């Protein structure tokens, strides 16, 4: 009898302790640190390919202690204004969080006209930071006289005589060719931000692709021919890059 009575008291005290703990947690609820993310309202759905409207969204509070690495995938509420108007790449049902992958920008495609081509030029990564160059920029290439201290082939056209050592003219023994329009930086066809958003691997950024134009007879401009011959003379040795500034409207 006494044993049963003691067990009953233990159960009562246990329930009382649990109740007090619940009351304590509820009293502290207002002091919990919350992290807010962007979600889709319960009564809304955003179809694939549709733009996000403000009335589709709701701020979703999550206790900071439960966030973990969610902030690496979900869009924070601080980006509320930048999310509105963006297109989702998949259907977003109600009561779901907006993820970074939902807003990925599709990678651009290589676009060349019927009379255009792409010429790859090996560049010296010590002379430029590839991340600073984007398709659409203008660059020039510098090839120094030191690079030409090799026997030239018999037929070098306007680049020198036969059997000699080619020494370019240029400025101070440096041949300057350009400007050329950049089409690609390695495998990247758009800005670095677009490539990162699309999670595209960056490869061969030491090769810059430039746009070249053919005339009606299928010939390339003299400067492109000259660049190709100089690259051949140096066995495609990496060249120095000069990034031109963008024109500013006044």
Q: Where are the alpha helices (DSSP H) in the chain?
A: 2-28, 64-67, 80-83, 192-197, 222-233
- The residues pairing with 211 across neighbouring beta strands, listed in sequence order, are 118
Question: What stretch of H or E contains 21?
Answer: helix 2-28
- The residues pairing with 99 across neighbouring beta strands, listed in sequence order, are 74
Confidence of residue 88 (pLDDT cuts 50, 70, 90): confident
User: pLDDT tens-digit profile of 163-193?
Assistant: 333 444 445 578 899 999 999 999 888 877 6
Both tokens of 91, joined, read 């259907």
pTM as predicted: 0.55
> What 3-state DSSP class applies to 59?
strand
What is the spatial distance between Cα 11 and Cα 5, in angstroms, rounded to a whole number?
Answer: 10
């Amino acid at each position: 009898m006494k044993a049963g009575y003691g067990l009953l008291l233990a159960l009562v005290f246990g329930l009382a302790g649990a109740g007090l703990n619940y009351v304590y947690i509820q009293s502290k609820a207002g002091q919990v640190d919350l992290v807010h993310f962007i979600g889709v309202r319960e009564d809304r759905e955003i179809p694939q390919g549709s733009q996000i409207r403000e009335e589709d969204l709701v701020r979703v509070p999550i206790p900071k202690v439960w966030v973990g690495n969610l902030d690496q995938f979900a869009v924070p509420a601080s980006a509320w204004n930048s999310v509105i108007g963006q297109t989702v790449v998949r259907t977003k049902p109600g009561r779901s969080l907006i993820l970074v992958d939902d807003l990925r920008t599709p990678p651009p495609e290589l676009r060349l006209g019927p009379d255009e081509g792409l010429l790859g030029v090996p560049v010296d990564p010590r002379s430029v930071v590839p991340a600073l160059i984007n398709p659409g920029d203008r660059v020039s290439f510098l090839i120094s006289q030191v690079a030409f201290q090799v026997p030239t082939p018999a037929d070098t056209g306007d680049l020198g005589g036969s059997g000699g050592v080619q020494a370019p003219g240029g400025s101070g023994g440096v041949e300057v060719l350009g400007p050329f329009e950049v089409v690609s930086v390695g495998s990247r066809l758009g800005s670095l931000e677009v490539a990162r958003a699309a999670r595209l691997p960056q490869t061969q950024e030491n090769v810059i692709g430039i746009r070249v134009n053919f005339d009606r007879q299928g010939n390339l401009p003299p400067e492109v021919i000259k660049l190709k011959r100089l690259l051949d003379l140096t066995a495609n040795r990496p060249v120095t890059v000069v990034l031109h500034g963008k024109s500013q409207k006044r």
